[in-house]
Chain A
């Protein structure tokens, strides 16, 4: 199939001749990027394609990429919204570095995304979007679909808008403008045909989603089928592809993104512990998804509270914790700055609380819709005084579920605020998730205090074997007590104390309690098949997939490389120091300028080196692979 030839043929509606025979080619893995204007519905298109892909059993990973502006001026470069999906017949760990296929709904989408496309890759362009006006807005002097600029790619130009409008002709109650809006379903139909995605899943979804708006439902269905049939019947697409299901462990699967997985993890923690969940937050990208998701689950007794600001949200969660609930607040970087003082109070009050930080790019407002993982040191040290707390970092979208459970477990067991770090990439990205057996999930016992703990007296800061203090909630007779942010007699009464030695001792005690969490961390498992690796790649957070792929590829190239990924960021696992010292080189890929590196260098005196990327994008396996090779040279 030669794209150039097609382009010269200048396909026009009505001139597509049906072909009898289509060839099916098998592909192991495919990366598709859907790109268009932020009003073109590309996220929805990608999302639906993903769902159909999940259901036929391909392994997959996705990465949405959208602008911060809700409706940037149509047709402009900064209004481009994209969704990337990587699916395969084997194990997938990242959303893919370079797309093989780019669907471009307009010139801006082409311009922004073309550089990422693999050389010789497929471009499917909505010819109707390439008007003079749109070309000008995207800064094209001439039309790249016809001027030869895409000669090195396989180009398919399809007048998606025109065909969609024609396909919708006769549907009552649909204006031409509305008809044009259904073109994303046309694109979805076409791609569904090209990659053999099942249509019934998508059709059922459209029927359900638009059940109350019959005209829109019929329009979208018609557009979707028109796209599918267009692929099936016209001669431009002679080949379509098959990607076989990936082998997977037996079990029941669903597709899940990190935001939903985090929410489910929190609901599960509440369900398993019997402690009601109280989630307070202030709208902030990208953490709002968590508030939206949790708000749906009131039948689990989940209280969600949209507070007046970030500080209020933290205080409400802490107040709820004092009152015996699992107090959780979620936010992103700027919000974590604001919550710092309250988190310090939680450190002093020693109450269970979880703070979810969905990290995003940059200081200040930065790039709110782009990913980064540069809040590790903020989570570690971003409070005045000595205010240590445990930190858990999720490393894949579905792992957000386990990470949320683990953060809650630590918070409840040790009566401490815990920061759970995820990031924009994890929150928005999705992957198949093998559903856990609910009964096998860790349970946690709130062990509320019920009676005096020192004769007839109740000492609110008397500690148990974990150095945790009693959680005595209002309503419990005889355990009335007052706590606050002032320094206190930290092992007994909690009474205010300005005694110099007491402050030294209380400071040490709060630190010792956090360190004690390390007793629960299972031994680390280093992935070092040869046992004689020359370099250890140490990761944390969402770089997990890229690191695994990069390390595997480096090994394929004959390199001896070990790999280790951290889940607990504070306290660090007890065996980490010994492991790091075993390797001549330690490379730490991070989506910041080197924060974990600073921690391990300070903690273990090892010469760890950073591979840093702060571009609002995940680290790609290919660039990391090259870095590993370079470090071994």
Chain B
């Protein structure tokens, strides 16, 4: 059943199999700080994976360095824990070599946006068939609390006792700018929303980028309180994007988003403008400008902030494109013949000496 490069037919669509959450729980005990948002993420992911119908041996989880990096050890599939920032590149190698596999990447705001920023944007640009989960906690947790590329300006940390000077990235805007075809944002403790986003990402062919607001209760507790915690007004601040629906939010849906004549977006009272004036979310729009504007609606998650799927469009997938190039080459040139290859170009022959004695 195992031929050459280990590819086999199991796990291909059309082979329904019964899987449960426990099939995706490895024998390694998770070791994050008690109360870390990563536990909730792990549990939601493990709870979701069975519905994909992809057997555990057809799936690979790849992680970088940081608290998120440990994730790869805890999912009972194939997994690689790589080096800092390089998970998208490592995973690109896996997914390009083996388009038959389901390949998932776990990274963080430091891992994916700082040391590994280059690999992230290029994986998105190429549209490699990877599902990328970026755990954004706006802090370096594993190295014990330095500010990260998503920390707010003026952040006081061990490395910035007088406040950080850096302007932060908005990961969703960055991904859209990097030509990502699928971009979404969700929250660690919202199991239902997170699962819906995972489902959409999994059904998207090509690179899917999910920013997950993840609470680091040790070094950056409450960074996402405004959109994450009920007692801090989460129901007021979550702008839940739904394709094809007017964008409204607030406890009674009293707020909405309109597009002004200059193209920019504005939060308004629905009562004042009427529902028909609201912007209808279109995740499938080819032009990324609107998705980008939505991403910019909240640069930091301290007030009304969009979550959900910003963009979901279809583009050629890198691994499939490479495979079809190989097929075309074989059709055109014939299956490679080593002896013929070596003989290519001009050759000459030295005969055996005639009078050899």
Contact = CB atoms under 8 A, between A and B. Distances in A.
Nearest to A475: B6
A252 B325 CA distance: 32
A268 B353 CA distance: 31
Interface stretch (A157-165, A481-489, A506-514): A481-489
Interface in A579-619: none
A628 interface: no
Interface in A241-289: 248-255, 264, 267-268, 271-272, 274-276, 278, 280
Contact of A478 (B26, B57, B93): B57
A436 B342 contact: yes
A436 B342 CA distance: 9
A178 interface: no
Interface in B318-338: 322, 325-326, 328-330, 332-336, 338
A307 interface: yes
B272 interface: no
A252 B349 contact: yes
B93 A327 contact: yes
A483 B79 contact: yes
B301 interface: no
Given A316-B89, A485-B82, A303 B347 contact: no
Given A297-B336, A322-B80, A345-B83, A278 B2 contact: no
Contacts of A345: 82-83
A305 to B, nearest CB: 6
Contacts of A484: 63, 72-73, 79-82
B96 interface: yes
B119 interface: yes
Interface string A336-355: 00000110110001000000
Contact of A301 (B63, B336, B339, B351): B336
Interface stretch (B36-44, B97-105, B227-235, B237-245): B97-105
B62 interface: yes
Nearest to B347: A254
Contacts of A70: none
B58 interface: yes
Nearest to A481: B78
A435 B347 CA distance: 9
Nearest to B356: A250
B80 A349 contact: yes
A496 B26 CA distance: 13
Contacts of B93: 278, 280, 305, 315-323, 327
B262 interface: no
Contacts of B98: 323-325, 474-475
B90 A318 contact: yes
B348 interface: yes
B346 interface: yes
A201 interface: yes
Choose among A51, A315, A435 the residue with the greatest number of B CB atoms under 10 Å from its CB. Answer: A315
A433 B94 CA distance: 36
Interface in B74-125: 76-83, 86, 89-98, 100-101, 118-119, 122
A264 B326 CA distance: 18
B347 A322 contact: no
Q: Which of A250, A271, A320, A478 has the largest count of B CB atoms less than 10 A from its CB?
A: A320
A473 B5 contact: yes
A275 B57 contact: no
Given A308-B119, A324-B98, A482 B26 contact: yes
Contacts of A268: 338
A249 B61 CA distance: 54
Contacts of B344: 254
Nearest to B342: A435
Contacts of A309: 118
Contact of B62 (A276, A300, A319): A319
Contacts of A318: 82, 90, 93
B200 to A, nearest CB: 24
Given A253-B349, A303-B97, A324 B81 contact: no
B96 A477 contact: no
A388 interface: no
Nearest to B102: A474
Contact of A474 (B6, B322, B325): B6
A264 B339 CA distance: 11
A495 interface: yes
Nearest to A254: B347
A535 interface: no
A275 B5 contact: yes
Given A248-B350, A477-B57, A438 B73 contact: no
A312 interface: yes
Interface residues of A, number: 75
A485 B83 contact: yes
A250 B352 contact: yes
B305 to A, nearest CB: 31
Given A250-B352, A271-B336, A276 B5 contact: yes
A319 B94 contact: yes
A299 B340 CA distance: 12
B8 interface: yes
B95 to A, nearest CB: 8
Nearest to A316: B93
Given A271-B338, A301-B326, A320 B94 contact: yes
Contacts of A255: 345-346
Contacts of B351: 250
Contact of A249 (B90, B330, B350): B350
A299 B91 contact: no
Interface in A22-57: 51, 54-55, 57
Nearest to B73: A482
A311 interface: yes
A325 B339 CA distance: 22
Given A319-B92, A481-B79, A475 B332 contact: no
A323 B55 contact: no
B10 A475 contact: yes
Contacts of B11: 475
Contacts of B7: 324, 475
Contacts of B63: 484
Nearest to A263: B341
B28 interface: yes
A175 interface: no
A275 B346 CA distance: 29
A302 B96 CA distance: 12
Contacts of B259: none
A479 interface: yes
B343 A254 contact: yes
A15 interface: no
Contacts of B334: 299
B296 interface: no
A216 to B, nearest CB: 22
Given A315-B90, A316-B92, A319-B80, A324 B73 contact: no
Contacts of A450: 2
Nearest to B5: A324
Interface string A448-463: 1010000000000000
Given A55-B348, A484-B63, 19 more contacts: A55-B346, A251-B350, A276-B4, A298-B328, A298-B329, A299-B330, A307-B122, A312-B119, A318-B90, A320-B94, A322-B60, A323-B5, A323-B93, A473-B5, A474-B78, A477-B1, A478-B57, A482-B28, A483-B79
27 contacts: A248-B350, A250-B352, A253-B348, A254-B344, A267-B341, A298-B330, A301-B330, A301-B336, A309-B118, A311-B119, A312-B119, A313-B89, A315-B90, A323-B93, A323-B98, A324-B4, A474-B94, A475-B7, A475-B100, A475-B101, A477-B8, A482-B61, A482-B81, A484-B73, A485-B81, A495-B28, A496-B73
Interface of B: 1-2, 4-8, 10-11, 26, 28, 55-63, 72-73, 76-83, 86, 89-98, 100-101, 118-119, 122, 322, 325-326, 328-330, 332-336, 338-339, 341-353
Closest 3 CB pairs of A and B: A319-B93, A484-B81, A300-B336
